[in-house]
Amino acid sequence: MQPRVDFISLGVRSVATSRAFYVDGLGWPVHREVPGDVVFIQVNHGLVLSLWDVRQMQADAGVTASGGVPCITLSHNLPGTEDVDRVMEEAAAAGADIISEPITQPWGGYSGYFADPDGFRWEVAYNPTWAVDDDGAVTV
């Protein structure tokens, strides 16, 4: 198996609410959708974020509802601290709950967290030791 991720699927309580946050609020483009069931957003080279009705996703994956916020962090890395501040402001304007304002971290970077309408945590970060080259490879 190749070390690759092609889809990240989030089980959401309301596809319409999540669509409004990501598409209308953040301005992310819809790649394809089945209204009320699932929205696909291409978020990077060959990577798709899927906003899927949680009941359908649980049935498909054979998972029982847990009732809490899933422990998963989606990260959005940026080239500078001012970019982190801008994206956090955009997320707040789109309706995100700001979990932690951006601060300089002990590891040398700068990051903060927001939560989408279902509570999924997004880390917005600048890491001075992390870069992606033109081919999409991570360099440290």
State the sign of the Cα–Cα–Cα–Cα dihedral 8, 109, 115, 83: negative
Q: Are strands 32-34 and 38-44 parallel, antiparallel or unpaired?
A: antiparallel
Instruction: Please name the amino acid found at residue 21.
Output: F
What pLDDT does residue 31 have? 94
Give start and end residues of each alpha helix (H) in the chain.
15-19, 54-61, 81-93
Print pLDDT tens along the chain (140 aa).
Answer: 777 888 899 999 999 999 999 999 999 999 999 998 999 999 987 889 999 999 898 887 787 877 776 667 898 999 999 999 999 999 999 999 999 999 999 889 999 999 999 989 999 999 998 877 777 677 76
Instruction: Give the whole-angstrom CA distance, residue 105 versus residue 115.
Output: 19
Instruction: Give the whole-angstrom CA distance, residue 94 versus residue 91.
Output: 5
Describe the strand order of the beta sheet including 32-34 as a list of residue ranges: 7-12, 47-53, 38-44, 32-34
DSSP-derived secondary structure letter, 99: E
How many Cα atoms are found within 13 Å in the side-chain-facing hemisphere of 43? 20
